[in-house]
Amino acid sequence: MSGDELNALRRIARRVASGAPQDAVFATVLEEVGRGLAVDYARIGRYEPDDTLTVVASWGDAGVTMPRTALGGRNLATIVFDTGRPARIDGYGDASGALGIAAREAGVRAAVGTPVIVEGRLWGLIVAGSRGVQALAADAELRLASFTELVATTIANADSRAGVTRLAADQAALRRVATLVARGVAPEEVFAAVVEEVGRLLPVDFADLGRCEPDGTITFVAGWGKTRAVFPVGARLKLGGKNATTLVAQTGGPVRVESYADASGEIGGPTAQTGVRSAVGTPVTVDGRLWGVMAAGWSLEEPMPADTVPRLAQFTDLLETAVANAESRAALARVANEQAALRRVATLVARGVAPDEIFAAVAEEVGRLLAADLATMCRYEPDRTMTMLAAWGSGGEHFPVGSRWPLGGRNLATLVFETGRPVRLEPYAEASGPVGLESHNAGIDCAVGTPIVVEDRLWGAVAVASTTGRRLPPDTDERLTSFTELVGTALANAESRAELMASRARIVAAADEERRRVVRDLHDGAQQRLVHTIVTLKLASGALEHDREAVDDLVRDALDNAEQANRELRELAHGILPTVLVRGGLSAAVDALASRMQVPVETDVAVDRLPATVEATAHFVVAEALTNVAKHARAGHAAVAARIEGGALVVQVRDDGVGGARLDGSGLMGLADRLAVLEGRLRIESPAAGGTLVSASIPLPS
C-alpha cells in the first residue's frame, strides 16, 4: 500500500473517530477510493431485504443513475451478495441482470467490488469501476477492502448512536403509555396514545388498532395518520383478503407485508389507495385469546426497517394490560350490577308482593342489566302454549301481559321449551310460527332466551332481544342464566310457601270436617239411642210402682237400644282407627278392607309391624284408593301391594278400571297432605281407559 493510500486511510479514520456524519464519511471514502485506484466512478450500495440494491453514496460518473435496482444475473453487486467475498469483472460483454445490462450500456469496461460487513452481517458493498481503456490494478480488491473496513466502522457507529437514541425514545414513549395504564384511564385514551406514539417513533404513515369481533369483523378503536387515519374510530370492517390486519387475525402472529400493490379486502383496498406500499402488524392477546390487531404502514419505496415489527410489538404488552385491567373493572362493575338487580328482585319476593309485580320487575331488571331493547318473561302451560307474564322495552306492545301464544315453528320460546336449554337466534329472519311472526312485527333481529326451572321442571323462560340491529354480547346467555336461576329459586320458594299454606288449610279443614262428622254421627246415632235408653229406663222405673207387667218390655227395649248404641260407637271408632289395624298391623287391616270390596282384590303386603303413624297413614291410602275403586273406577279387579324399599314404605293400589283419576280431587289431595306431614309423596298414574295406579312412599323413621 502506497504512502498516499495510508495517508488517505488516516484522514478517513480521523473523521470516523471524530463522529463525523455518515454521509460525509461516505463521500470522503469514495473520493479517496476514486483517486487512489484511478477509476472513473465509485459507489456505496446497501442490500435491502427484498433482494434489491440501494445506492447510498456515489463519486464520479458511471454513465447511469440507478438508485434502487433488483439483484440477479451476472453483475458485481449480485456476485458479492451471493458469495459475501470481493469480486471483479474485467469484461462486461456477458454481464446480465438489470445491474449488468445497465453497466454494459453505460460503457463500463471493468469493475471491482468488496463487501461491507457490519457486526457480522452483509450490509452492502463498495464498487469502483472504469469506463475507459485503462485496466484495473491487479490488487484493486485488496486495496479497496482497506476502505470497506472504515465504512463498516462508520455504519456500526452510526447504527449504535441511532440505536441508543431510538432506545431512549422507545423507552420514553413506553413510560408515557405505562403511566396512563397505571392511572387506570379509559381504554380509549390508552389506545389513542399508543397509536400516536407509534406514529411518532416509527417511520410510518399510519398506525391503527382494531378489536376482533366474533363474527369475523374488526372494529377500529384508535387510528393515527400523518394527514388522517385510514379508518375512523368505530369503523367495523370484514376481515379477509391480503392485508396485514387480516393476516395477523388469521395466524395469531406478527406479519410483514412488503408490497401492498396487490392488497385486497375491505381493509387492504382502502389502505393501498392512500399510497401505502408496505405494512406490518402485531397481535394483541389478552388472557390467551386474540383480542385485536395493531398495524402500521408506510409509503416509501424502500422496505420498512427490519426492527419495525419488534418495536411495534413493544406496545402490545401495555395494550394487553390496559385491556385486561379494563375488562376486570368492567367485570367487577357487571357483577355488582347483577347482584344489585338480583337483590332488588329477591326483596320483592321476600316482601310477598303480587306475582305480576315480580314478573314485571324481572323483565325490567334483565332488560336494563343486559342493555337489551326488549325483555320478556313467559310461563309454559300444559296445553303447549305460553302465557306472557311481563314485557319491557321497545316492541313490548306486541306481547301484552296475559296474552297466550301457541308454541310451534322455529322461534325462541318454542326452542327453549323443546330443548330446556338456553337458545340464541341470530339472525331472526328465519323465525316461524305464531311467536316468530309476531317477533318479526316487533322488529326483533337477534334474541337470547334461557329456561326458568322450578324444582327440576321447566316452568317458563326469560328472553332479551335487539330491535335496533345491535348484536347481543356473546355472554348474554350466561348472564341471563345466572338471573333465571334466582327467579326459579324465588318461584320455587313462593310455590312451596303457597303449597304449604294450602296444605295446612286443607288439613285444618279436613280435621274440622272429621270432627263435625264425628259429632254428627254421635248425635244422630249413639247419642239418640242412649237418650232413648235413659227415657225407657225411667219409664220402667215408674212402671215398677203401677204396671209391673210393662216393665219387661221396657227393659228389653232399653237393652236393645244400649246394645245398638254400643255397636255404633264401635263402628265410629273403627272409622277413626280400626281395631284390626291396631291389633293385627297393616297386613291384617288391608285384608279386612279387601274383604268388604265387591270386586276381587289381590293383596301382597309383605311387611312386619311398623310405627303406628306409618301404619295409619298407609291404611288411609289403601282405604281411600279402594273407596275410589268402588265408587268411580268401574273396575273388574284390583290389587294392593306394600313393601319396604330404600328406607321407605311403598304402598301401591292398582285397578283395571276406566282411569282418569285426578290428583286434585278432595280425597287424593287429602292423602297428599297427610303424606306430606311424614315427608312422604303421592304419585297418580291414571290414563284414560288405562286403569289407575295410586302409589305412596312413606319414609321410615331412622
Q: Are residues 137 and 26 in the same domain?
A: yes
Is 468 within a domain? Answer: yes
State the pLDDT at residue 103: 87
Q: Residues 50, 195: one domain? A: no
As a whole number of angstroms, the distance between CA 243 and CA 248 comes to: 9
Question: Are 7 and 152 found together in one domain?
Answer: yes
Using alpha carbons, select from 294, 254, 300 the residue that is nearest to residue 277.
300
Residue that finishes a domain, picked among 474, 509, 541: 474
Instruction: Establish if 567 belongs to a structural domain.
Output: no
Q: In this structure, is residue 347 part of a structural domain?
A: no
Domain tally, the chain: 4
pLDDT at 163: 46
Q: Please indicate, yes or no, if residue 265 is contained in any of the structural domains.
A: yes
Residue 480's identity, in one-letter code, is L
Rounded CA-CA distance 369/334 in Å is: 8
| Statement to judge: residues 13 and 150 lie in one domain | yes
Domain with residue 641: its CATH number is 3.30.565.10
Q: Considering the domain boundaries, does residue 335 fall inside one? A: no
Residue 239: all three cell numbers together: 376481515
* Mean predicted lDDT score pLDDT of the chain: 81
517: its cell numbers = 262428622
Of the candidates 122, 145, 162, which is a domain's last residue? Answer: 162
The answer to whether residues 305 and 357 belong to one domain is no
**pLDDT per residue over 254-271, tens digit each?**
999 988 999 999 999 999
Q: Based on the domain organization, do 198 and 297 belong to the same domain?
A: yes
From the CA atom positions of the chain, what is the Rg in Å? 50
- For 175-210, write each residue's pLDDT tens digit: 766 676 666 677 788 788 888 877 777 778 888 988
Integer angstrom CA distances of residue 406 from 282, 387, 396, 413, 589: 53, 9, 18, 10, 50
- Degrees, nearest 5: CA angle 41-45-46: 175
Range of the domain at 85: 3-162
Measure CA 416 to chain center: 18
Q: Is residue 540 part of a domain?
A: no
Output the DSSP codes for 477-529.
HHHHHHHHHHHHHHHHHHHHHHHHHHHHHHHHHHHHHHHHHHHHHIIIIIIHH
What CATH number did the domain enclosing 82 receive? 3.30.450.40
pTM over 0.85: no
Does 230 share its domain with 318?
yes
Per-residue pLDDT at 18 exceeds 70: no
Burial of 290 (0-12, 13-18, 19+ CB in 10 A): middle
CA dist 85 to 124, 142, 177, 478, Å? Answer: 11, 11, 46, 66
Query: Is residue 127 located within the same domain as residue 270?
Result: no
d(CA 318, CA 326): 12
Question: DSSP 3-state assignment of 118?
Answer: strand
136 and 43 together in one domain: yes
Residue 164 is inside which H or E element, if any?
helix 140-183
Same domain, yes or no, for 366 and 254?
A: no
**Tens of pLDDT, residues 275-301:** 888 899 998 887 788 888 989 888 887
Closest-CA residue to 274 (of 294, 296, 256): 296
Residues 23 and 131 in one domain: yes
Domain boundary among 431, 449, 474: 474
Same domain for 18 and 116: yes
* 406 in a structural domain: yes
Task: Indicate whether 156 belongs to any domain.
Answer: yes
Residue that has been written with the C-alpha cell 437514541 in this structure: 165
Higher model confidence: residue 39 or residue 514? 39
